Amino acid sequence: MPRVTSAPPALEARHVVQRYGAATILHGVSLAVAPGEVVAVSGPSGSGKSTLLHLLGGLDAPTEGEVWWAGERVDTLGTQTRSQRRAGRLGLVFQHHYLLEDLTLLQNVQVPGMLAGVPDEGRAQLLLDRVGLGPRGGDFPGVLSGGERQRVALARALAVRPAAVLADEPTGSLDRAGAERVAELLLTLAREDGAGVLLVTHDERLAARADRTLHLLDGQLEEDGTR
Ligand SMILES: Nc1ncnc2c1ncn2[C@@H]1O[C@H](COP(=O)(O)OP(=O)(O)O)[C@@H](O)[C@H]1O
Ligand SMILES: [Mg+2]
């Protein structure tokens, strides 16, 4: 359950509009994820789920509207400042784990902390332990399975104790057992840390474990019901 808190949302979109040329992908989407809350977003392919996550993650600025992280408006910041803020406040997990192939697993997990100016090897090792890869910190990503790579990506996303974790179909490329393990870890670790989670998923069992589920259709976000 979400914690009762007076803290600002971990993550917020206010009337976000996104256009690409003549196409309007998002028609004024508003959404707030509270600290400790897990929100799942579903919707047909091409409905703009990844676009919404990119905008909320500050990887792009919206055509119109505002994006806020833990009480700070970030869409108006310069790209570099926003990247710095992102490194310290958000964890991102995509369908395809973008690990740095020339760094060891332990180094990969340490990257966000270094970018944010708060390197913490101890926490990186602890997270590798938690995702079941503790003894393999010196290995390189190339020798891992897809599920193992995604577990490293998850550890990396949580390295700086982010206010929010954004996950775009994080289990989409995995087999069922691998997907379940990653999903379980994502929800457990994020909840332990009180991070808000915004999760794009087609997996109904995963969506059912969220506090709220939302549906993106025709550029609008609809509440599927609260549990
Ligand atoms: N950078 C971009 N430039 C132009 N069109 C884009 C861009 N990114 C996404 N789109 C378009 O926006 C729509 C939504 O894409 P996306 O957010 O990836 O959907 P989903 O993740 O729900 O499958 C698609 O029609 C896609 O082609
Ligand atoms: Mg997508």
Given a cut of 80, whether residue 134 has pLDDT beyond it is: yes
Q: Which of 25, 56, 59 to mutate to test ligand 1, by most ligand atoms within 8 A of the CB atom?
A: 25
What separation in Å is there between the alpha carbon of 135 and the centre of ligand 2? 33
Residue 107 lies in a domain: yes
Average pLDDT over residues 177-193: 88
Question: Residue of the nearest CA to atom 8 in ligand 1?
Answer: 51
**CA-CA distance, 53 to 57, in Å (whole number)?**
6
Q: Which ligand is nearest to the CA of 45?
A: 1
Given a cut of 70, whether residue 160 has pLDDT beyond it is: yes
- pLDDT for 38-94, tens place per residue? 999 999 999 999 999 999 999 999 999 999 999 999 999 999 999 989 988 999 998
What separation in Å is there between the alpha carbon of 96 and the centre of ligand 2? 11
pLDDT at position 148: 93
Residue 38 lies in a domain: yes
Which percentage of the chain shows pLDDT scores above 90?
A: 75
Give how many domains the chain has, as a whole number: 1
pLDDT band per the 50, 70, 90 thresholds, residue 1: low
pLDDT at position 227: 44
pLDDT band per the 50, 70, 90 thresholds, residue 4: low
pLDDT at position 171: 86
**Sheet with 64-69, side-by-side order of all strands:** 23-33, 11-20, 64-69, 72-73
Residue 4 lies in a domain: no
The CATH number for 216's domain is 3.40.50.300
Residue 5 lies in a domain: no
Given a cut of 90, whether residue 116 has pLDDT beyond it is: no
Domain hosting residue 177, numbered range: 11-226
Q: How far is CA 77 from the centre of its chain?
A: 20
Closest atom, ligand 1, to C-alpha of 168: 21
pLDDT at position 41: 96
Residue 42 lies in a domain: yes
50 Cβ below 6 A of ligand 1: yes
Residue 119 lies in a domain: yes
Average pLDDT over residues 26-44: 96
The candidate with the shortest Cα–Cα distance to 35, out of 77, 69, 59, is 69
Q: What is the mean pLDDT of the chain?
A: 92
DSSP string, 156-205: HHTTT--SEEEEESTTTTS-HHHHHHHHHHHHHHHHHHT-EEEEE-S-HH
Average pLDDT over residues 149-167: 94
Residue 85 lies in a domain: yes
Residue 6 lies in a domain: no
